[in-house]
Structures are given as C-alpha cells and as structure tokens.
Amino acid sequence: MQTIYILWLRQLKRYFRSKARIIGSLGQPILFFFSLGFGMNPIYQKAGGGNYIQFLAPGIIAMGIIFTALFSGIEIIWDRQFGFLKETLVAPTSRLKIMIGRTLGGATVASFQGIMVLALSFLLGFRFQNVLLLPVALIFIFLIALLFTGIGTAIASILKDMQGFQLIMNFLVMPLFFLSGALFPLEGLPKTLSIIASLNPLSYGVDGLRGSLINSAHFGMSTDLIILSILTGLILVLGAYLFSKIEV
C-alpha cells in the first residue's frame, strides 16, 4: 500500500513542479475554444444546433485529459532512458504495485488537468445543465484519465525510446480525438464515420461527459459507463502484463 502511495505521490510531485507543463497543456484547449468554439458558434446556431460552446466544452475537457494522461503513461520511457526505471524494477516489490501506483498517479494528474479545463470553459461561457450531475462528470473524467494513462503505460512498456512517440501521437491520439464526436454531434453521420466513432473508446468518454454536463448523451450515460469501465479494466490488465515484462 505504501509502495503504491509513494509512486502515486511521485507522479503528483513531478507534475506540480513543472509549471510549464501545466500552463502549456492549457494552451491547446484555449486555442480550440477560440478557433472552433467561437468560430463555429454562429453557423452551428444557424443550423439549429444551439450553443456550440456548450456542445464543444466536454470534448475539449476530454482532450485535456487524454493528452496529460498519455504523457504520464509515456513517462516510463523517460524513466527508462534516465535510469530511474531500473531503480524501481529491482526493488523487492511486485511490478503490479509499481504499475498501479504510477497509473493512479498519472490518472489523478490528468483528472486535475480535466478539471482545470472545465474551470476554464466556465470562464469562457460554458454553463452546467444540472449541477447535481457534476459528481458523475467527475467519475467520467477519472475513467477517461485512467483509460488513457493505461494506454500510455502499455505503449511505453513496449517502446525503447521517444522516437516512436511522435508516431503514436499522429496515428493514435489525433485520430482518436478527431473521430470521437468531441467536435461534432454523432447524430446523422455518414455510415462509415458513425461506425468508426462507435468503435472509438474516447467517444464513450466524451458522450458520458456530455450526458453529465449538458444532459445530452448519444449512447446514454449507463452505456458509456459500462463500456468505459470494461475497456479501462482490460487496458489496465494489458498494461500490467506488458509492464511486468520490461527488461532494461
């Protein structure tokens, strides 16, 4: 238990000490709010969709979470390169505990990032539909964070250096984000896009956030919760397995 705690604490300390990272990772959401949010709002309203900022905010919150979460997972590669990973791997502690501590730490940090984007969107005019559902939104925030930290951990356990990281950002993260319904409604899409979106785990995260924050879920919040939980469970098992196989 203490092992998990100290690994969790380490992730938090590293995050809060790097102010540049916290502020830097707010830059992208702000850009999206200004360009897409305020840019598309007039035409979105003309088309009868309502306020686009309201619609977009949950998607941007999800974006803030997944970038921080994946990065936390990917940090294993830094630790490998700078030798600290060895220090944890030779310790008389099960690798499962190390992996759990790290992942929980990463997920906590990413959730915090999500909450910051939520606060930011509030400043930019976003309003909750139902404040009572806020705890549910927090659950979704944490689940998305956990899922993507797990994905990051799994990937980082296989990669040897940062070269592959760019590849993953371009061929995994960007498609996941753009094809998730974070930016557009999932209703009335062309068949192919609709199928892709329903296979994308992030779609359920964004949908759950939308359900709890603006009361408009496409799949339904319980479906979102179930699918997200199962996927998170599976990814964590896979991540733990790959992490236990690491050689330095």
Angstrom distance (rounded) from CA 155 to CA 165 = 9
Angstrom distance (rounded) from CA 153 to CA 175 = 19
Least spacing, CB of residue 32 vs another protein, in Å: 23
**Of 6 and 47, CB closest to another protein:** 6
Angstrom distance (rounded) from CA 239 to CA 221 = 26
Residue 24 near another protein by CB under 8 A: no
Residue 89 near another protein by CB under 8 A: yes
| Number of residues engaging another protein in binding (CB under 8 A) | 29
Pair 205, 62: CB distance under 8 Å: yes
Q: Of 27, 46, 48, 92, which one interacts with another protein (CB under 8 A)? A: 92
Angstrom distance (rounded) from CA 209 to CA 137 = 6
Angstrom distance (rounded) from CA 246 to CA 222 = 36
In the stretch 189-228, what mask flags binding to another protein with x, by CB under 8 A? ----------------------------------------
Phi, psi of 52 (to 5 degrees): -70, -30
Q: Scanning the structure block, which residue is given the tokens 């400043």? A: 123
Q: Which stretch binds another protein (CB under 8 A): 80-88, 143-151, 181-189, 216-224?
A: 80-88
Q: Of 90, 123, 131, 132, which one interacts with another protein (CB under 8 A)? A: 90
Q: Sign of dihedral through CA atoms 230, 58, 21, 1?
A: negative
Among 151, 172, 69, 173, smallest CA distance to 113 is for 69
Segment 138-167, which members bind another protein (CB under 8 A)?
Answer: 161-162
Least spacing, CB of residue 87 vs another protein, in Å: 5
Residue 27 near another protein by CB under 8 A: no
Summarize as ranges the residues that interact with another protein (CB under 8 A).
2-3, 6-7, 10, 13-14, 17-18, 78-79, 81-84, 86-94, 98, 161-162, 247-248
